Structure 1
Amino acid sequence: MESTVAMNNSEDIVITKELGFPKDCDSLLERCVHIMHTIDPIEKADLTLLLGQQWKQTIEARSKRKYNNDDDTGSKMMEIGCATPPDIPLRPDNLEFVRPGFGVKVGKAGSLSSRIAILHALANVEQWAIDTALDNMTRFGYYTQATAGTALKDQIENEQEAKFVMPNRFFDDFMQMACDESKHFKWLNERLESQGAHYGDLPVHASIWASCTDTARSALARMAVVHMTIESRGLDVNPATIARFDRSGDADSAKMLQKIHEDEVTHVQIGHRWFCFLLKKHEGIGREDRTAGGDGNVVEDRGGSKAFGAGAGANAEVHAEYDGDDELYEFRQVPPAYAEKDGSTVEEVVDPVEAQRRKRFQEVVVQYFKGSLKPPFNTVDREKGGLTRGWYEPLVVVRERTGFKPASGRRLLNKKDKPNDVKAATTEVKLNASPAIDSNNEVAAAP
């Protein structure tokens, strides 16, 4: 059977293999776990796209029922369900795992072998990114104090906080993200094959999943570390990679990488959205009303006029506020940090809620992130994702002041302890979190 899956008006992805889920696997989260247990990388991507298509039908049916009072949608509605994600998603036996920074030197895209190495590294990133998005839904779809990341480690075991299902938008966002990553993997894999290579020809690492393991007990940390820190680092280095492919004469790959980069901006935005949601829901850091400023504060925008909540300019930071409705989010805009006026730097004015959010983000990153933050930063695309400089630049100073050093290369995996064995969890296989950038500073290891 040949089927076509398209998400967000992106280019169609054609699946040329008959796919389906087991009969007893009928909820969203059960199917997410089934995909995480899928070994073949192409099948993993195809099943994710298929699930995305099925979930899109649920979104449409949900909207129809809500706004048209149409009750004849039950057959199209997929339940969220409940399932337990694996400690480590399955991978093919033929993949050779190395610790981050000890793989093939990818180079600067000046040769065919260098371009293949870069594309292969990015394809590996996308495989882990698929599983990360699926894991987010499955692991954090039911909110507790522990998963909000505020409980002390020794208190988590005794948490009896009542659970509730995260808003529908949470599942919509991360299902879309999983589909984006699947689409990216298929593009990269097809590009590799057009160059005479295949995914699995070169060694791979699992540094992204190391960060997922480190944040497995904290949804707040997962958003802050994986999506707002590691993934935003990808925004920093992607433009240089794209430019190198373009200079090398590989315009097709450069065009593809640009499309991938644009999707990744939205993924940082999703992480920011749910980080802010968790802060508001559990820690009370957020706005209580839907007025322009929430707390009535007024700040000055780039142009010098008074604005808060609207009219802050094209480069303003986007905030998502949860307003009590599972499906309705209000996007607020606040002026960007370090706004420049007449060529000079203007002192930033930050409202109290924004300052609290940044402070918590920085605390969580210092606690959970084992990489390093260093300039140059792609401030324009970071702002599109919701992160002005005030969110991350202080972390560079903090790490320098505390003498922080990235984790050294401990053994990650060897041939006898591949991640296919789900029992070989973090207690047996220490997944060593590492900086988001390969040792050559060429490829961003970000979802």
Structure 2
Amino acid sequence: MVTTLCDAAVAVLTTAAPLEKVRLTRDYAAAWRDGLIPEFGARVPPERPARPERPPLMLPRDMPKRGRGGSAQNRLALLHALAHIELNAIDLAWDIVCRFVGEGMPKGFTDDWVQVADDEARHFQMLEERLNQLGSGYGELPAHDGLWQAATTTAHDLAARLAVVPMVLEARGLDVTPETVRRLREFGDAESAALLQVIHDEEITHVAAGRRWFGHLCAKRGVDPVETWQDLVKRYFRGGLKKPFNVTSRQAADFGPEFYEPIAE
């Protein structure tokens, strides 16, 4: 029975069915906002979230290459990949809610990440509905199993988690989405383009939350945020920071180039 927010987080993380994960997330987020879950609690989240039997999960290097053209197959592969990212993002948000209890972060930190989880659940729902409209659905194509690696490698340190997940992975989404939106419009898929634009705009707030709480944590620890972020990214993120950057969207999240430009490839 869910009596605390950490109970809610673990319930979502141990739910395999994607749409049930979405439903629970949206219900628990609303209950937290409305004060119907009054206690934070303390639970150890699972090392890995539950996953459905489909899609089959593959190593990133074994994934079939996705074309960049405007064919129906390529657009389905794109939307399916984005849905998979959003499903993982739901779990990443709930994991950060309950994993780092010992840091003693303010309630605003928890409020922000519950809202992020709610947003990611809605994003998955939007993408699943669009896939259904196009005659497909989540689970119809393979997906890669590398997304949870960021959670595993940063499970010991909240600063590392914030540095890598919102400030690298989600910020990368800000970089690449505008071009994807442009190409979808060029290919005549205005519906998918509009959906991705909504996701992009809301992801700015997620990057902003990561930047804000990373800065809070650095101030609490008495360390320089720029130097600390660069050091954590070098240690815990594999793949390097790739140009070009969407400086406008990153600036909207208060994430300036002094962080990422000096260590970009």
TM-score of the superposed pair, with normalisation by structure 1: 0.58
Contact kept? 1:106, 1:115, Cα under 8 Å: no
Provide the rounded CA distance (Å) in 2 between the counterparts of 1:77 and 1:190. 30
Q: CA deviation at 1:117?
A: 0.3
The aligned counterpart of 1:68 is none
Distance in 1, matches of 2:25 and 2:66, equals 29
Equivalent in 105, 108, 114 of residue 166 of structure 1: 105
Is the aligned partner of 1:391 residue 2:259?
Answer: yes
Q: Report matched runs for 1:122-133 at 5 Å.
A: 122-133=82-93
The residue type equivalent to 1:232 in the other structure is A
**Paired AA for residue 284 in structure 1:** G
- CA deviations on 1:226-251 (whole Å, 9 max, x unpaired) are 11011111111001111111111110
Partner of 2:47: 87
In the alignment, structure 1 residue 138 sits paired with structure 2 residue 98: yes
> Partner of 2:127 in structure 1?
188
1:126 Cα shift? 0.4
Residue identity in the other structure for 2:52: P
Are the aligned partners of 1:362 and 1:395 in contact in 2 as well (CA < 8 Å)?
Answer: yes
**Paired residue type of 1:50:** D
Equivalent in the alignment of 1:27: 4
The alignment's C-alpha RMSD in Å is: 1.2
Q: Equivalent residue for 1:49?
A: 26
1:255 to 194, 208, 217: 194
Give the Cα separation in 1 of the matches to 2:135 and 2:90: 25
Could you report, residue by residue, the CA deviation over 1:325-380 in whole angstroms, capped at 9, with x for unpaired residues? xxxxxxxxxxxxxxxxxxxxxxxxxxxxxxx3211110111111112112111111
Cα 1:197–1:392 change in 2 (3 A) is: same
Task: From 198, 217, 222, give the equivalent of 1:284.
Answer: 222
Task: Return the alpha-carbon distance in structure 1 between the equivalents of residues 147 and 109 of structure 2.
Answer: 21
Report SS of the residue matched to 2:60.
coil
Match of 1:264 among 197, 203, 221: 203
Report the 3-state secondary structure (helix = DSSP H, G, I; strand = E; otherwise coil) of the residue aligned with 2:12: helix
Distance 1:266 1:94 in 2: 30
Given that 1:42 and 1:186 are in contact with CA atoms closer than 8 Å, whether structure 2 keeps it comes out as: yes
Q: Distance in 1 between matches of 2:243 and 2:7?
A: 41
State the Cα distance separating 1:205 from its structure 2 match: 1.3
Q: CA deviation at 1:109?
A: 4.5
Deviation at 1:179, TM superposition (A): 0.4
Does residue 177 of structure 1 match 2:45? no
Identity of aligned residues (%): 42
Q: Which amino acid aligns with 2:124?
A: F
Deviation readout 1:195-215 (Å, 9 max, x if unpaired): 000110111112221011000
Quick one: distance in 2 between partners of 1:270 and 1:246? 30
Residue 77 of structure 1 and its aligned partner are, at CA, apart by 5.2
CA distance in 1, matches of 2:65, 2:194: 23
Instruction: State the Cα distance separating 1:101 from its structure 2 match.
Output: 4.0
Distance 2:63 2:134 in 1: 20
Query: Compared with structure 1, are the counterparts of its residues 122 and 109 closer, same or farther at alpha carbon in structure 2 (3 Å cutoff)?
Result: farther
Q: Deviations over 1:377-396 (max 9, x none)?
A: 11110111121111101112
Alpha-carbon separation, structure 1, partners of 2:167 and 2:257: 12
8 Å CA contact retained: 1:216, 1:222: yes
Q: Which residue of 2 aligns with 1:10?
A: none
Higher strand share: 1
TM-score with structure 2 setting the length: 0.97
- Of 368, 377, 394, which residue of structure 1 is paired with 2:236? 368
Contact 2:181/2:197 (8 A) holds in 1: yes
Bigger Rg over Cα: 1
Residue by residue over 1:109-141, the C-alpha shift from the partner in whole angstroms, topping out at 9 and shown as x without a partner, is 511110000000000000000000000011013
Q: Distance in 1 between matches of 2:134 and 2:61?
A: 24
**Cα pair 1:141 1:171 within 8 Å, conserved:** no
Alignment of 1:265-344 (within 5 A): 265-281=204-220, 283-285=221-223
Q: Once the 2 structures are TM-superposed, how far is the Cα of residue 30 of structure 1 from its aligned partner?
A: 0.7
